Structure 1
């Protein structure tokens, strides 16, 4: 709770509880926010699986799209216990962060709330892991966006 208060008072945070998505406004471009996030993952010993540049994909198809990147990352020491509690959560693992530009040119760092994953997959018995993931995601988002 204290972390949320610190994050919420220093950054613009939008939570869409119906979709289970939290979005934190970034002070940086999509490219810089993505780069900062990649550096955070490396420093924390997380695995960076890939970065998907949806804008580049759209351009290859002759379409336009505002800057939109998805970073896929994870840590088996965290993901495996979640899958042991409910194997179907693997549909949402590894974790993903969406870093994107909105219609006003603002950049956002968005991610699925662990509480949403708990509800979606009916995860039981993993509250401590989910709490740890929630705290880590909030810290990562704040560090990448500020």
Structure 2
């Protein structure tokens, strides 16, 4: 178990514990992991969370932060291998879903949730092993 985080990460004993929670522009919430995880290959640079300050959904956001952080820690400790390699379709799908500048953040929350659900089902096919043709990356 990673000692960097509170035990509440694993047992949900503190419903307000929200690791890596950040606000941007004072009205958007994001889960943003430390750069050390990004530099080591974690594919999610940031993840926009539902809601806005004062909406009363702080515990929901905290639970989502804990869920994402548990995934990150499991990945970091090698429990969820293999890691997605850059340049594959799986990597591109993850970037589309999680990147700050992705157009997925421009659609309504219900539409975004539907897109993510569909793309998650598509990832059942082992996209991690399919490389994107160099012509499409240029």
Same fold (TM over 0.5): no
Given the two structures, how large is their TM-score scaled by the length of structure 2?
0.27
More helix by share: 1
More strand by share: 1
